[in-house]
Amino acid sequence: MTIQEIKTVGIIGAGQMGSGIAHVCALAGYDVHMVDISQEQLTGALSIIKKNMQRQASKGKIAKGEMEAALPRIRNSVEMESLAQCDVVIEAATENEEIKKDIFRKICPLLKPEAILCSNTSSISITRLAAVTKRPGQFMGMHFMNPVPVMQLVELIRGIATEEPTYQLIKDMTAKLGKTSASSEDFPAFIVNRILLPMINEAVYTLYEGVGTVDSIDTAMRLGANHPMGPLELADFIGLDTCLAIMHVLYDGLADTKYRPCPLLVKYVEAGWVGKKAGRGFYDYGGEVPVPTR
């Protein structure tokens, strides 16, 4: 039994990804219920959403009326029970398999039987996550790109048990959000990160081995490969902890040494230098202009 129409979207996690997903869902006309364990995080997320919508309106990307209609559609709570009547619930918690599984075990008994569950995981097996629920046929991956309001792509990943009506409903929802979907099989890191993260990891190895500095590596890839952002700058933007987690998924899941995380990446994460969100990664963000740290 699957829902026939999506009207209400629940989002678990009010971080960068969760708030971005709430942003685009509200603009698309969905009622949004955003849940996080921290009320402070929820309050901050709503403030960021409002600021980002105001920026879009000032640039003419959305009408002021669209923003004014969208913001009241977003409700927030620290209680999972607030998601009980949602048609779709999208988990956007940290990239940790056990944390995600624990969330799904807790949320499943609270939802209506026909509700669909999605994970915004960027690398973890959809089949394994679905297996801890009572509704694997109504479960799939919906991997948004960061920043969500700007990036066009959403990867759609079916687990082994995902039913066709579930996939079609989420594909239609993705189109209503103004996004383009790309379907991926349920292999470690899917399409985008299967290609992107080894490149970033190789850039870190290039730094680790002294082949180039942070600035020279990023400049080389921006100007030599026409990338809009250098790989080390991009790693900081993604979060070095997330990059490391995805490399572990690739290394463990595919058993190939070419996916071994660079020791320097591990060291930065251990130091807490996980990128822009921490104020320091391959760049120091303490001043007006980011400064390379190596």
The catalytic residue positions are 122, 143, 155, 193
Instruction: Supply the DSSP symbol for 122.
Output: S
Cβ-based neighbour number of residue 161 at 10 Å: 17
- The answer to whether 9 touches 90, Cβ cutoff 8 Å, is yes
CA distances, 155 to each of 9, 123, 185, 216 (Å) = 18, 11, 10, 32
Cβ-based neighbour number of residue 234 at 10 Å: 20
Longest CA span, the chain: 57
Cβ-based neighbour number of residue 275 at 10 Å: 25
Which residues make beta-bridge pairs with 12? 35, 91
List, as one string, the DSSP characters of 211-276: SS-HHHHHHHHHHHS--SS-HHHHHHHH-HHHHHHHHHHHHHHH--GGGPPPHHHHHHHHTT--BG
- The answer to whether 240 touches 275, Cβ cutoff 8 Å, is yes
Find how far residue 256's CA is from the centre of its chain: 25
Distance CA 170, CA 175 (A): 9
- The answer to whether 82 touches 75, Cβ cutoff 8 Å, is yes
